[in-house]
Copies of this chain bind each other. A is one copy, B any other.
């Protein structure tokens, strides 16, 4: 039997969905269809949604799970009429918080994901363009402005991580690909001069060679570039370099971009210019 969970918000729905998925992920053996309903910011929209929830209850043959972060009292009252197991995050925690803080909350909608100050907006745009301009070693003369420089072999996850750091935390992340072109006389990978100068900013990525081969295969099937031999060799060389030069590094194989990024920040103590929104 499949159950349906509704994540309902008067804003983006990001908080409701994030919390809802965290909670429901704890129930592996229950099949749950998850639907996010953002921008339910009027009594009318709430009524229409209640009809949908009612129809879903009939179709599923069981009550849906309703997880919401709606702030407006009137809208929330309508949702409360829907048939379902209701997880009302705001009323559960706001009232005790009001007592603790000895003040009334302002009950404003979607404050967290709204645009915030001009500074945050500018910082964000600036960081994203910094990541793009300094992607894949394209430029190196701005490295003195970088907060962090990611290094690693081609397709180990440098670009998505740089962009995530920029978008979510305002971190200025450059990235530089390690390739066979940078070798010393013994055939070992060496740090190019431009990276050696900024060694304290470097953070390495590594990856399981099998996964790397699979990813590269999507891009250039049956090439030397995507062969297991090539991937094993490149990854081994990169890891040897990290160890020799005492560059902190992380294995991206088992981690999502969120985990790689938050672990880097935790490990290096890089300053976040703003918070995840």
Interface residues of A (CB under 8 A from B): 3, 11-15, 17-19, 21-30, 34, 36, 38-39, 65, 69, 71, 85, 87, 89-90, 92-94, 96-98, 100-101, 103, 105-108, 110-116, 118, 121-122, 124-126, 128-129, 132, 135, 155, 157, 159-160, 163-164, 167, 214-215, 218, 254-259, 262-263, 266, 275-277
Residues in B whose Cβ lies below 8 Å from that of A257? 124, 167, 277
How long is the Cα–Cα vector from A22 to B256 in the complex, in angstroms? 24
**Are A255 and B114 in contact, with the CB atoms below 8 A?**
yes
What are 24 A-to-B residue pairs whose CB atoms are below 8 Å? A14-B258, A14-B276, A15-B18, A17-B276, A22-B69, A22-B112, A25-B108, A26-B90, A26-B105, A26-B108, A26-B111, A28-B108, A29-B103, A30-B103, A38-B263, A39-B266, A87-B93, A87-B97, A115-B255, A115-B259, A124-B160, A125-B215, A132-B132, A132-B159
**Are B15 and A19 in contact, with the CB atoms below 8 A?**
yes
**Are A259 and B12 in contact, with the CB atoms below 8 A?**
yes
Residues in B whose Cβ lies below 8 Å from that of A24? 97
**Are B256 and A116 in contact, with the CB atoms below 8 A?**
yes
Given contacts A26-B108, A97-B23, A256-B115, contact A125 B160 (CB under 8 A): yes
How long is the Cα–Cα vector from A126 to B155 in the complex, in angstroms? 11
**Are A126 and B167 in contact, with the CB atoms below 8 A?**
no
**Are A23 and B93 in contact, with the CB atoms below 8 A?**
yes
Minimum CB–CB distance from A160 to chain B (whole Å) comes to: 5
**Are B103 and A17 in contact, with the CB atoms below 8 A?**
no
Given contacts A97-B27, A167-B167, A262-B38, contact A114 B256 (CB under 8 A): yes
Protomer copies:
2
Can you name 14 extra interface pairs (CB under 8 A) apart from A113-B256, A164-B167? A14-B18, A17-B276, A18-B19, A19-B19, A26-B106, A28-B106, A34-B275, A85-B97, A92-B93, A110-B259, A113-B259, A114-B259, A122-B215, A128-B160
Given contacts A124-B257, A255-B115, contact A17 B106 (CB under 8 A): no
Residues in B whose Cβ lies below 8 Å from that of A90? 23, 26
Residues in B whose Cβ lies below 8 Å from that of A96? 85, 87
Out of B18, B114, B132, B258, which one reaches A135, CB within 8 Å? B132
Residues in B whose Cβ lies below 8 Å from that of A27? 97-98, 101, 103, 105-106
Minimum CB–CB distance from A207 to chain B (whole Å) comes to: 11
Minimum CB–CB distance from A109 to chain B (whole Å) comes to: 10
Out of B36, B92, B107, B277, which one reaches A258, CB within 8 Å? B277
Residues in B whose Cβ lies below 8 Å from that of A97? 23-24, 26-27, 65, 85, 87
Residues in B whose Cβ lies below 8 Å from that of A255? 114-115
